[in-house]
Structure 1
Amino acid sequence: MLISSTIEILPFIDNLNLFIGAQVLFHISSLNYLRTFTLAAKHLSFKTAATILNISPTAVSHQIKALEEQLRVTLFERQVRSITLTLAGQKLADACHVNLAEIDYVVKHLTQDKNEVSISCCHSFAALWLTPKSSQFNVNMPEYSLNIFASDSLVDIDKEKHLDIAIRYGSTEHDNNEDFLYTETISLYQSVQHPVVNSSLKKTNQQLFVTYWPENEMLNNIPWQQHFDASAYTVKTFPQEFFVLQAVMTGQGVGLLSDVLATSAVEHGWITKVDNTNSFKGYSYWLRISREHQESLRVKRATQWIKHEFSKLIPIEITK
């Protein structure tokens, strides 16, 4: 990324020792020369730096020469077909490698679209809860757009700088930096258009759909067999809950679903809880905010919206 030549370099290399025992304070009118130097130092090639910057090798040579004149040091030893860094050049290259990357990030952060809210969550939550509510998000915060990053792997929100909010799903154990949202209830659901004939008289070998994700060290599958008698059903598993919902909605059978993820389908009248069947607790949802973005108005408003939507959930009575 090239930065406008009207921007003066911050004193991140103030007092950099380019000479042993001597400290030099830099005041360089353009970051472009340092960017060019950094690329040439990385690849030890003016030609390669020129290709990356889409300028001529002669322009690279002129910029490096101008930088050397400003610093009053030689940065490269020039041979006929190669270049090598001098001691001063190596020291400047080391400083630029770290600090220019930081400047790039800060500038990108300061100039990024402030009208976006980025939320990380698991795939099922993204598909069945957050995406269906995106229109409500737009109504409540029309000046902001919602970006959803779905992943079933644990994402470090403090390292993934583009993320604002993470919705965690798991056991009651949680980080002190996370806010509790809701503990789900698992119940048996059926299609409204293709209901079970008599829920109290289960049909033998009726299809029962449940979610069973690949085992991992982070989160065990919910032990639904301890709470629900599946002896009268033919059990079929899916790795994601939205497959279970789809099977139920199309009348292929009944399914065990979280009240959180079933919310939209229930509100639309597509599925309903089967009467006279047991419900039991599942896992919990937690909210985590990026420490870097937590003071942002857009993040605060999005956080309030998420908490409000979860507060509207009415826990299903546990029958067993």
Structure 2
Amino acid sequence: MQVSLPALKAFESAARLGSFKAAATELSISPTAVSHHINKLEQRLSVTLFVRTARKVVLTELGQELAAATSQGFQTIESALEKISAKEKQIDVATTSSFAALVLIPALQEFYAKFPESKVNITSGDGIEPNNFTLPIRLGEIDKQSSADVIKLEEFNLFCTAHTATQFNQTDRMTIYTTEWKNSALPKVPLDAWLKLNGLQNRDISVRYFDQELFGIQQSLVENAYVFCSNTLTQNYLTAGILTELNTQAISSQLCYYIANKEKHLSRHNFMFIEWLEKLL
């Protein structure tokens, strides 16, 4: 049986408040409209739901039964709407461990200051399966991505502590940490091309590899060594004075950060997050 939703809402409010006038105030309609809705509902059901007196309305037995059902039903709907609203404010992000640790997490306080109603949930790892509800911020090959999905092109250079930088031209042999991707489909880090670009191909260099840029950066700090990595991941270290960028020529790469099928993820809060992130990068 089909009945009017506004009529059910008017009935539920009147039953809960014990007054057509109070229901009208709650629903921002006239008492006459409330009475009309309930009369139509009674006609549709062929029952009497209220006993009307001059001063009050009282539920009949059948009215009490319907009141319990409508109250529970509208509470269930309200609860679902609140959950959906809260979910819409949550921004789920899946990205690499290095990008999460070195870029996103340090900047979250700034994001929350601008958008305090939002909540960001970050999942990191290289094997995360994307879905329609998660922003997948990935590292990939430029030529394989839509230009609309790319949020940052990767450049590489050499980084180290300020003290280590003073020894760059005085050291016969140096150690450079860099990355050999776990995902072999990714383009290689352009270390050889960078060495040639800067005339360093004949230097005595020991190259050591990790499968994540984060580890190479950390190890270079521990050993006062050099790390060849993207400028995206070192910005916070540079700002804090922990690392310095060598006075060498940076080199472009075939790598980029991108959000796969970005246009499909543009809810209001996701849009705010993407816009903020692109400015951050």
| TM-score, normalised with respect to structure 2 | 0.62
Q: What SS does structure 2 have at the residue aligned with 1:213?
A: coil
Alignment counterpart, residue 169 of structure 2, candidates 178, 181, 200: 200
Aligned twin of 1:167: 137
Structure ID, larger Rg = 2
User: How many aligned residue pairs are there?
Assistant: 197
Contact 2:175 2:206 in 1 (8 A): yes
Aligned twin of 1:139: 113
Q: Which segments of 5 or more consecutive residues in structure 2 lack a partner in the other structure?
A: 1-79
Alignment counterpart, residue 280 of structure 2, candidates 305, 309, 313: 309
Aligned twin of 1:257: 229
For 2:98 and 2:117, how far apart are their aligned partners in 1? 27
- Write the letter of the residue equivalent to 1:151: G
List structure 1 segments (4+ residues) > 3 angstroms apart after TM superposition: 106-112, 174-178, 288-293
Between 1:223-232 and 1:233-242, the stretch displaced more is 223-232
Q: What SS does structure 2 have at the residue aligned with 1:199?
A: coil
Contact 1:215 1:221 in 2 (8 A): no
Q: Which whole-Å deviations, capped at 9, do the CAs of 1:130-162 have from their partners, x for residues lacking one?
A: 11111111111111111111121363333xx4x
Q: What SS does structure 2 have at the residue aligned with 1:225?
A: helix
Contact 1:157 1:290 in 2 (8 A): no
Aligned twin of 1:150: 124
Answer 1 or 2: higher relative contact order, Cα 8 Å, separation at least 6. Answer: 2
Contact 2:155 2:252 in 1 (8 A): yes
- How many percent identity over aligned positions? 20
For 1:245 and 1:233, how far apart are their aligned partners in 2? 17
Q: What SS does structure 1 have at the residue aligned with 2:111?
A: helix
Q: Which whole-Å deviations, capped at 9, do the CAs of 1:229-265 have from their partners, x for residues lacking one?
A: 3632222111111111112223431111211000110
Q: Which whole-Å deviations, capped at 9, do the CAs of 1:70-98 have from their partners, x for residues lacking one?
A: xxxxxxxxxxxxxxxxxxxxxxxxxxxxx
Pair 1:227 & 2:199 matched: no
- Write the letter of the residue equivalent to 1:195: T
Q: Which whole-Å deviations, capped at 9, do the CAs of 1:274-313 have from their partners, x for residues lacking one?
A: 12x342112112234666652x221121121112112xxx
Greater fraction helix: 2
Aligned twin of 1:88: none
| TM-score, normalised with respect to structure 1 | 0.55
Aligned twin of 1:188: 158
- Computed over aligned residues only, the root mean square deviation of the Cα atoms, in angstroms, reads 2.8
Pair 1:240 & 2:212 matched: yes
